[in-house]
Structure formats: C-alpha cells, structure tokens
Amino acid sequence: MHDIVDKTYQIPYPSAGTEVLLSRLAYIQEQEKMDVIIPNFDAELYSFIKLENKLKTMGIHTFLPTMEQFEERHKVNLNDFGKKYGIHVPRSKTIYNVNEAQQLEKDYEWPLVVKGKYYDASLAYNFDQVKAAYNKISAKWGLPIIIQEFIHGTEYNVTGLGDGEGNTIAAVPMRKQYITDKGKAWGGISISDKQALELTERFMQSTRWRGGFELELMKDKSGDYYLLEINPRMPAWIYLAVGVGQNIPEALTRLAMGWPTPAYTHYDVGKMFIRYAWDMIVDLHEFEQISTTGEL
C-alpha cells in the first residue's frame, strides 16, 4: 500500500510496557519528525495516554481522553457510568471466576452476553455456554470477564469527536447493515436519529469527552436507547463519517495541533459504506524487511 502509506514502523505490544514503547517512538521520531499520532487500538491507548506529556516534549501531539475518562467508561465500570450520567446501560457484572456467573441466574434472564475486557462477545443461553465462552474469551484477552444483560433490539453506533470542553465537534449515527460473525460492521448506513444524537450530546457535555469515540447503542422495542459500550477511539468505519461530510480524523488532527476547529453541524443521511477485502501482492523482500527490521 505504498500509494497510501509512506513508511511503516512496528511498535511493541502493549504488554511490553510504556518505557519500551517510548524508546521505540523516540527512535521513530528521530527519523520522521512526526507532528501527530492517532492511536487506535484499545489495548495500546492506556500507554499512549500515560505518555502524552512525554510525547509532547518530543514534538508529538495527541488528542486523547484523559486517564479518568478512559477508566470511567471501561466495560467493567459501565454500570457506575450509567448511574453517574443518567444514561440507560444494560445491567452487568464483572467476574473473575466462572462460578460467579451462576449466581446471576436469579437476577438476569437468559440469554446473557459474555464479554472480554477489550474484545469479543458471545451470547450464552445456559450455564454451560457461559462456561465455554468464559474460558475461550479469558484465554485470549485475560480477566475479568463481563456478564451483561441481553437487550433485544436493533444496534446503532455513533462516532464522534469531543473537544474536551464539553462541545461536540462531530457526531454521525450509523445503523449496521451487514455484520461479521464477531458482530463487526461490514456495511452500514448513516441515519438521522434525534434520540441517538441527544444521547451523544449528553454524553459529551457530562463527561467533557476529549478525542474520538464510538458509542455502541441498542434500541429496544419500546424505542429506548441503551448504551452498550464506549470505545475511546475512532471506529474502523470512520470513513463513513468522512463520506457524509464530517472529517473526524482531520478535525482530531487540528485539535491535537491546537488549531481552531469549528464543530460540524451537518451530515448526509442515507449514505452507505460497504467494506471489501483485498489480496495484496507483496514481494518476499518486503516481508523480510518488515520482519527483520520492523520498518518498511
């Protein structure tokens, strides 16, 4: 993808810690003189938020949620988050032992949603299925596991950008039209939904959210919205927001640079994104280069 990407550097896995990441970024900065980094993987956000000030002294700007915002919106804290800001959230419990889920049978109805700390979710219709999902997800993503009440309804998502002062710089709601087996959007359409935008506005004002985000919402049969998850970064479908008139990556870059960034007030309704996968043909020497030097 040399027509899109000028240069690629591998960076350490988040498990290596912030110091290793910092020294790698210092090396990259010597070569590239970057102005802005926009991290987009859930697991690496913590490290980048921690390093925000150090990166700034190196000349690298970021525009990330505060550590408090990042922690507060975490799946494991969603119940408290809902209470604090008066937003409907499905009831959930964080567990470190699969037997804890057995006690939930009294309070929750089947099915239950078994969720990983960062990623993955499975529906379970009985305790055996809870166990299987618990083992599978915890082996991959670690503990804790979140058991959540299942809300029947239609899933909607909102991506947007907050300036950290309580203002909404951008917000685009989307309905997933095609999903993968993991529930990820493979196609979607921009919609006009006042309720979803009001909920987003309330979220922005009350948390004074800083940076890009994605809200995962479920609208139940009676039309009430439940907030299922807050992802503290732009989603993979961000290009739909650009396509309907709200260039969130550009606005985020402007905010990171401290440039004036007017709020978007309009977007096109009824525009779709359809994702496609594509086979790249790569010479072995390029694979060799990225594998041995971590650069391409």
Q: How far is the CB of 222 from another protein (least distance, A)?
A: 12
273 binds another protein (CB under 8 A): no
Closest CA to 256 of 68, 65, 14, 73: 65
192 binds another protein (CB under 8 A): yes
Determine the interface stretch with another protein among 160-168, 182-190, 257-265, 281-289 (rule: CB under 8 A).
Answer: 182-190
List 189, 197, 242, 290, residue binding another protein (CB under 8 A)? 189
Q: Which is nearer to another protein, 263 or 269 (CB)?
A: 269
Give the count of beta carbons closer than 10 Å to the beta carbon of residue 287: 11
Determine the interface stretch with another protein among 100-108, 128-136, 173-181, 205-213 (rule: CB under 8 A).
Answer: 173-181
Q: How many CA atoms lie within 13 A of 257 on its CB side?
A: 12
Distance CA 33, CA 46 (A): 23
* For residue 144, cis peptide bond before it (omega within 30 degrees of 0): yes
* Region label for 208, one of left (φ > 0), alpha (ψ between -120 and 50) or beta (otherwise): left
Give the count of beta carbons closer than 10 Å to the beta carbon of residue 5: 8
Distance CA 8, CA 5 (A): 7
List 175, 185, 217, 267, residue binding another protein (CB under 8 A)? 175
31 binds another protein (CB under 8 A): no
270 binds another protein (CB under 8 A): yes
Q: Which is nearer to another protein, 245 or 294 (CB)?
A: 245
Residues that bind another protein (CB under 8 A): 154, 156, 174-175, 177, 188-193, 269-270
